[in-house]
Structure 1
Amino acid sequence: MSSLMADRGESQAVARPQRPKPASAEQRLSLWLMTEAVKMDLGSIVEALGHRLSAFGLPLDRFTVSFSLLNPSLLGGAVIWRPGKPPEFSRYDYARRDLGLYERSPFKVAYETGNWVDIDLRTTPDDAYGIVPDLKAEGIAHYTAVPMKASNGDNFSLTMATKSAHGFSDEQRRLIRDILPALSVVTEIKLLRSTFQEVLAAYVGRASSREIIQGTVHRGQVTKVRAAIFVSDLRGFTHLSTQLPAKATADVINRYYDIVVPAVEKHGGEVLKFIGDAVLAIFPVADRGDSAAVLSALDAAREALDTVIEPFIVDEREIDIRFGIAVHLGNAAYGNVGSGDRLDFTVIGRDVNVAARLASLCSRLGQNYLVSEAVAKVGRENGRLMCEGGAHEVRGLDDPLSVYVPDATDLNPEADDGVSQGITFVSPI
């Protein structure tokens, strides 16, 4: 028995641990993309990847990741990295969609064929692709567009360019090919979150979208907000909508929105919703105080009302775009209302109703700009002229509503106490 054990022991070789092979460049890059890069924003990812690829020997002078966007004003975007420079963000405006930029780009060929597009700038004519003159001006000798595909079918791409006459070697191209799956996954993750944020902001506003993303998604989940409440109302839209073709009607209301919304956003307001032909916005008081919020709202209203509106002709008929703006200062409940899984993120409360009634008085009294007593008080304290317009009965309020016309210097130029008296309201025609 012992001899058997001895013979058996002698016949067994001692196994030595094998030293693991060092990870290849593509394995190291793919691991970095899936573990470290996924925690970064897309701009930082492109910049860091550009540095890493250069360290592995790629002669990169320009490296980009391009993508389409689900955004009301943008078709797509790109992050562009160049050695020694911070990443550059390029945008492709929706308004330029008819200029043929995509039709003349290497991306179109790459997306439609699924193949890499290699361009030797030394032999490529300027009119081959729209980007060729810019690349030549940058001193680029070789340019490659590499298509990538998201899991939902959306297209995005990687491009690499070099000033080297030798271009990119087969080994360097193989490295790019091997890391594409990891890069595609990470890019898609970043774009999905960005798309979610952009689409949500387009429909509920940026401040509301931030609240929702942070978890304010349950009915009745509201907070109290004090704000200057801004309501704008388009005049005669109901009549226009019965007289004009559907597309012309949409063009009219969009032109009106293009006047009011930029003014609100420029002065720090948040457009919460479009209610038919009305715009509801708030200028939150927060930590800056009543005066700052009210003055911002007044400045936004004045800027919108002073905008020069180009003539709008439909079927040889000139459309007059007229609107009224009302501003009130008060408190509201800000958050979710609705039923079941269908919610609306908005502001509600008595002071919101007061602002809406002020807006209706604009039309009834033939004025394009009215504010409440609370706003007039703040305005006067800050040197703004406020002309008294009396108290008026309005639906839904027990007491008459006192109104004021801001900046009404033409009504009583001699007033020096911030209050002008004796407005004669004219009913609208």
Structure 2
Amino acid sequence: MTPLLLPLPAVPPVPEAACLVMADLVGSTHIAHALPLSTYAALMAEFVQVLILSFEVHGGQVLQHQGDAVLALWPAGAAGQALRAALEVHDRAAGLGLARSLGQALQVRAGLAAGEVVTGMVGGQLSAYGLPVNYARRLCDAADPGETLLCAAAAREVGTALALAPRALPPLRGFGPDSRAYRVLAPAGPGVVPMKTG
């Protein structure tokens, strides 16, 4: 038997309800080809920093970022805040001054999923494990440029705060052909997503 690098916890971690948002820059490989590496790195650093700050200002905890993608977590009952943050990053990315000065129009896609996760520190950074983490990534990958997709559970949490419409999906790897998603028909106003009440 292979020895464990770290011992298993004496008390198993308790699952908690949460909402996860994954946001990703569209066409980053094309941008990387178009710019000198140092310029591309500066643009990505500014882009990621804007996403991190946008998520944190709306109460999200950033779990990780990989290149041009950022994953953040909100507690149960905060799907409205998570959606507000996800919708807002589209405008924030499009408004980056450095991108405009380089002749680059940045577009983001995002996925939002809700459900039970287990969180814990790994390598000094908060991490989350569970199907909503994977689902948020798959929804992000399936979204069109400028689009935010919500899973059915997240759509139920948001309720009637915004007009949502069902969105057809290709089969999502690991989730089968019956995955359901919703998209926001129209924002409620600049940076405003009413919170669900009751």
TM-score (normalised: structure 2): 0.78
Q: Note closer, same or farther for the CA distance 1:382–1:220 as it changes in structure 2 (3 Å cut).
A: farther
Whether 2:32 is the aligned partner of 1:255: answer: no
- Equivalence for 1:369: 148
SS, match of residue 161 in structure 2: coil
Whether 2:178 is the aligned partner of 1:387: answer: no
CA contact (8 A) 1:311 1:318 kept: no
Please state how far the C-alpha of 1:238 moved relative to its aligned partner: 2.2
Deviations 1:237-295 (A, max 9, x none): 1232233222211121122123322221111110111122110100012xxxx3xx101
Please state how far the C-alpha of 1:223 moved relative to its aligned partner: 3.8
- Equivalence for 1:347: 128
Moved over 6 A (4+): none
Q: Note closer, same or farther for the CA distance 1:219–1:382 as it changes in structure 2 (3 Å cut).
A: farther
Q: Which has the higher helix share?
A: 1
**1:109-188 counterparts in 2 under 5 A?**
none
Whether 2:95 is the aligned partner of 1:309: answer: yes
SS, match of residue 15 in structure 2: strand
Q: Matches of 1:400 and 1:313 in 2, distance apart?
A: 38
- Structure 1 unaligned segments of length 5 or more: list them: 1-217, 411-429
Whether 2:81 is the aligned partner of 1:296: answer: yes
**Identical-residue share of aligned pairs (%):** 25
For 1:327, the aligned partner's letter is L
- Equivalence for 2:68: 277
CA contact (8 A) 1:230 1:280 kept: yes
For 2:182, the aligned partner's letter is Y
- Equivalence for 1:402: 180
CA contact (8 A) 1:359 1:370 kept: yes
Q: Note closer, same or farther for the CA distance 1:330–1:311 as it changes in structure 2 (3 Å cut).
A: same
- Equivalence for 2:30: 239
Total equivalences in the alignment: 178
Q: 2:141 aligns with which of 360, 363, 388?
A: 360
Q: Matches of 2:33 and 2:49 in 1, distance apart?
A: 22
- Structure 2 unaligned segments of length 5 or more: list them: 1-5, 188-198
For 1:332, the aligned partner's letter is V
Over aligned residues, Cα RMSD in angstroms?
Answer: 2.5
Q: Matches of 2:171 and 2:85 in 1, distance apart?
A: 27
SS, match of residue 393 in structure 1: coil
Q: Matches of 1:250 and 1:402 in 2, distance apart?
A: 36
SS, match of residue 174 in structure 2: coil
Deviations 1:202-223 (A, max 9, x none): xxxxxxxxxxxxxxxx664444
SS, match of residue 137 in structure 2: helix
**1:149-228 counterparts in 2 under 5 A?**
220-221=8-9, 222-228=13-19
Deviations 1:362-410 (A, max 9, x none): 1xx445211111111222x34321111124311222243211112x139
Please state how far the C-alpha of 1:359 moved relative to its aligned partner: 0.5
Q: Note closer, same or farther for the CA distance 1:263–1:317 as it changes in structure 2 (3 Å cut).
A: closer
Greater RCO (Cα-Cα under 8 Å, separation 6 or more): 2
TM-score (normalised: structure 1): 0.38
